[in-house]
Structure 1
């Protein structure tokens, strides 16, 4: 039982503003109804609460979009998915995940989404408006799609996962590395979101300072207590179990991606935190011969352009599948190529026609296509008491994410910079990028952060892609870093730049240099790192590139 369906008039202005902001197709009607607090039984006797939005004049053949969320059924998500989609001819079922916003049970991130999702679909099949279903949503809402995708019943006709992956938080749990900004920030946000004004406080960044201070807590295992006043289960689970731990077996849906037969349109961003995993999910689908499409824009996690894309594909492509009509044509891969700011279509990811070109780190901060002559290494010192800061790039929070001017960062003594000569022709780079760096360190453990930048004619250095790996040096050690993929044209008159450092805090937890587990370390120790760049140790970055005419 829930409230009776009623016309929702209060959100018409929000619907109109959202249409203009997100550049959505025109509404079919502003007259929509909403039935709140429907009760959905789960397989184990719990109850989930949901809202049902519908066009006031919806026919029984209108498809239903299912959105499962831990973030509540009111506020921004309410009109973004509920009203926006209902105004364009869809039923919408927004379901609060277990343990959130009135749904029974305790919220344990990722743990119950498969069974609760299948319970939701069984309940929906018994509703007169629940026969033709599409799954949609961003981030955690996208993960809830993957949780049921491989076992989805026939009523599910399409899915549109946006800035997400089939294993979600496991992306951040590589052995010996901890992405504290994302994991602690999200833990605090979900722990406090049901307090008065919680959702709006999170969106406005209220309380951000306390969380950032907590990220410096030593040992790191106490950071959640510093931020919240008590431990938080998800944060502790992440600290104590890396992505290879069987602890996460039921939460990792990546092994079943190839079994998904539902048509999938994946929406990603070049600066999104889930990009690499989302591309792998797409590749697995295509390798299995599935109906899969990929769109990657110049977006970060909360970018309005990505939100517009997921809603557009839900209204058009996915709803057409559900209605049994011909969906709009979509190429297998559609990429926004940065630098020239244009969309291009491809047959696959990564595209063919791009070959790896090595750009070698050279003495004096130079970057050359040819190896360097013999030269001594270049060294720097990383001090975890004054850690190399993170700047721009992939962030869970939109504020400060994406491409930013790196010159202030590059002026630090703990950041090495290697820059090419001015390009006499455009260099197009599309695909997977890797760096090989030969280094030596005077501590048993250090981190290696590598970033690719585009330097324009005015000297602005904009970050393109990057990543960090944990290193346990054994003398002079070769270290490989798989940077996030990209599609970018370095224009004639620009320069290619590579940064090398030993940290990016608070995006990544500080390496204290003692070689022990990062979550129990308490004593910061400075580390001197030597980077080698001679013929015997050819440190380089490999760019999948195509040379273009000048």
Structure 2
């Protein structure tokens, strides 16, 4: 089924969960809004019948194929009393100019806001956007006009480096997949096999027949402290949250690839803004689809395909001066099927667990035979059956070892960021280590909770690569996993799988030192975990705070 049509069907099914329409849609207005350089951007508004001025809800996007969805959203907003509009980014659809991802969004967004500010029909403005549309909102936070009263940002964060990389590991299934889809080429079927091309830096021209300079920039700048990430548009993006002066409603998913960047944004809001703002986190993958298979989800309070229901609920309650959600973090507790409010996730109750291994503590990494990812939080283009928390098949595989804790004597609730600390030895001068935190239920079923990844060269959150590892020497590697709210069951065991690949979530390491995208040679190696010197640290919620 066409993806756009599928989303529209979901939206039509779920719209019953917001307040009923009390008006009819009326006048439609199409405008080519001029930017500072003369380029004009396609912009549409739908008014409620008989309404000539009022509150405007507005979004921007780079996805022309989603125009029917934006039309639907504007129509539904208009039927509920709002003048609602959307704009296609520069070079997209009927908008003029040349599209270059992210580069023009700040100036174009500000120019659009300044235009809106001058329109008599706009009395107040509420901004909203999902994914790339959310990024277009982040970029204008330091230039919000007086009529802008609030912002809804759905599944888009402000730390772009951490979105593209984790500890030197590039997220193919997000950014290579996105590059292939948005490169305006017909060769979309090349993904994910194209990720195995070496040297990967030349994949665009060799496989796609087109040089993508912006994509190559992502591949070449692997150090977090590189000025490519700390200055320019990405440096500006990282500072946007602290510049917001109006209440903000953030919506994220436990298995959405933007979650880490959203936590960064939330933690960097000014206190005066955060105390009026909400961060809602559900059991979702990107696009707000359910990503958890371990449990049935019966509480559908915040179901929101494509983020529309939640955007509307917040905007509607904000402008009607009704409290919708208490300021702070509201998260879905996986395993308890309920939404819980938290002022902060990390409550300070840290418990350490030793790890055991029933089999070999050694595993092989052959770059030509990577482990296929099944269940992960930072995947976008893999089938939904491979994204999120999925049932794991535990079988003998010399590419993976499994560590475990003792059987849990009581139920425990993880609330925050788990740390996995391993002592590693490798035959390589550099390699990648993947850890997956799992729960094994008493019936033997196993589901992934969180994934961590790091190269030896970028171990322990290093901001630049350190080529100091001597093959065969033990080295401490600590993995600070993304925050999660997950209820562990009494009688379960916590498992940690350890391997050196998780494809295509991350790039396949060649076992060679140096810049990963420029390497064309590989080496097969054996890696080892010194289990007796490895452990877990779980942030546990106080049961009294869960009532």
TM range (shorter): 0.7 to 0.9
Deviates more, 1:270-279 or 1:285-294: 285-294
Trace 1:107-118 onto structure 2 (pairs within 5 A). 107-118=99-110
Query: Contact (CA 8 Å) 1:427, 1:547: kept in 2 or not?
Result: no
Query: Contact (CA 8 Å) 1:158, 1:322: kept in 2 or not?
Result: no
Corresponding position: 1:187 with 2:179: yes
Corresponding position: 1:531 with 2:514: no
Trace 1:10-25 onto structure 2 (pairs within 5 A). 18-25=11-18
Corresponding position: 1:317 with 2:314: yes
Deviation, structure 1 residue 102: 2.4
Call closer, same or farther: CA 1:107–1:169 in 2, change over 3 Å: farther
Query: Contact (CA 8 Å) 2:7, 2:305: kept in 1 or not?
Result: no
Corresponding position: 1:247 with 2:238: no
Instruction: Identify the residue that residue 429 of structure 1 maps to in structure 2.
Output: 414
Post-superposition Cα deviations, 1:237-277, rounded to whole Å, max 9, x if no partner, equal: 21122443323423222223222111011111111101111
Call closer, same or farther: CA 1:58–1:416 in 2, change over 3 Å: farther
Task: Give the count of matched residue pairs.
Answer: 508
Call closer, same or farther: CA 1:306–1:514 in 2, change over 3 Å: farther
Call closer, same or farther: CA 1:31–1:547 in 2, change over 3 Å: closer
Instruction: Identify the residue that residue 344 of structure 1 maps to in structure 2.
Output: 340
Trace 1:132-531 onto structure 2 (pairs within 5 A). 132-168=124-160, 171-174=163-166, 176-192=168-184, 209-242=189-222, 243-248=224-229, 249-252=231-234, 253-285=237-269, 287=271, 290=274, 291-304=276-289, 307-308=304-305, 310-322=307-319, 325-346=321-342, 348-352=343-347, 354-364=348-358, 378-394=361-377, 395-397=379-381, 399=384, 400-407=386-393, 411-472=396-457, 473-474=469-470, 475-531=473-529
Query: Contact (CA 8 Å) 2:246, 2:273: kept in 1 or not?
Result: no
Deviation, structure 1 residue 123: 0.9
Instruction: Write the distance in 1 (CA, Å) between the matches of 2:252 and 2:478.
Output: 25
Trace 1:76-95 onto structure 2 (pairs within 5 A). 76-95=68-87
Instruction: Identify the residue that residue 371 of structure 1 maps to in structure 2.
Output: none
Instruction: Write the distance in 1 (CA, Å) between the matches of 2:303 and 2:138.
Output: 19
Deviation, structure 1 residue 511: 0.5
Instruction: Write the distance in 2 (CA, Å) between the matches of 1:15 and 1:439.
Output: 49
Query: Contact (CA 8 Å) 1:14, 1:79: kept in 2 or not?
Result: no
Deviation, structure 1 residue 279: 1.1
Query: Contact (CA 8 Å) 2:166, 2:453: kept in 1 or not?
Result: no
Instruction: Write the distance in 1 (CA, Å) between the matches of 2:409 and 2:256.
Output: 31
Indicate the RMSD between aligned Cα atoms, in angstroms: 2.7
Instruction: Identify the residue that residue 198 of structure 1 maps to in structure 2.
Output: none
Tell me the secondary structure at the aligned position of residue 47 of structure 2: strand
Post-superposition Cα deviations, 1:58-102, rounded to whole Å, max 9, x if no partner, equal: 3522x2111110002754532453233223222222111112112
Instruction: Identify the residue that residue 53 of structure 2 maps to in structure 1.
Output: 60
Deviation, structure 1 residue 121: 0.5
Instruction: Write the distance in 2 (CA, Å) between the matches of 1:342 and 1:157.
Output: 31
Post-superposition Cα deviations, 1:330-379, rounded to whole Å, max 9, x if no partner, equal: 24111111011111112x22253x511122222426xxxxxxxxxxx821
Instruction: Identify the residue that residue 3 of structure 1 maps to in structure 2.
Output: none
Deviation, structure 1 residue 49: 0.9
- Out of 34, 42, 51, the residue aligned to residue 44 of structure 2 is 51
Q: TM-score, normalised by structure 2?
A: 0.86
Deviation, structure 1 residue 494: 2.1
Tell me the secondary structure at the aligned position of residue 251 of structure 1: helix
Call closer, same or farther: CA 1:311–1:460 in 2, change over 3 Å: same
Query: Contact (CA 8 Å) 1:132, 1:156: kept in 2 or not?
Result: yes
Instruction: Write the distance in 2 (CA, Å) between the matches of 1:262 and 1:412.
Output: 52
Q: TM-score, normalised by structure 1?
A: 0.86
Query: Contact (CA 8 Å) 1:157, 1:318: kept in 2 or not?
Result: no
Post-superposition Cα deviations, 1:489-520, rounded to whole Å, max 9, x if no partner, equal: 11123221111111111111111011121111
Post-superposition Cα deviations, 1:166-191, rounded to whole Å, max 9, x if no partner, equal: 24465214563211221111011112
Call closer, same or farther: CA 1:158–1:68 in 2, change over 3 Å: same
- Out of 52, 60, 63, the residue aligned to residue 71 of structure 1 is 63
Instruction: Write the distance in 2 (CA, Å) between the matches of 1:360 and 1:226.
Output: 48
Deviation, structure 1 residue 326: 3.9
- Listed as ranges, the gaps of 5+ residues in structure 2 are 290-301, 458-468
Query: Contact (CA 8 Å) 1:269, 1:299: kept in 2 or not?
Result: yes
Query: Contact (CA 8 Å) 1:162, 1:306: kept in 2 or not?
Result: no
Instruction: Write the distance in 1 (CA, Å) between the matches of 2:262 and 2:189.
Output: 31
Deviation, structure 1 residue 153: 1.3
Query: Contact (CA 8 Å) 1:433, 1:543: kept in 2 or not?
Result: yes
- Listed as ranges, the gaps of 5+ residues in structure 1 are 1-10, 196-206, 366-376
Deviation, structure 1 residue 208: 5.9
Deviation, structure 1 residue 548: 5.8
Post-superposition Cα deviations, 1:498-549, rounded to whole Å, max 9, x if no partner, equal: 1111111111111101112111111221121111122xxx211211014769
Call closer, same or farther: CA 1:80–1:483 in 2, change over 3 Å: farther
Instruction: Write the distance in 2 (CA, Å) between the matches of 1:435 and 1:382.
Output: 20
Instruction: Write the distance in 2 (CA, Å) between the matches of 1:311 and 1:502.
Output: 39
Deviates more, 1:539-548 or 1:514-523: 539-548
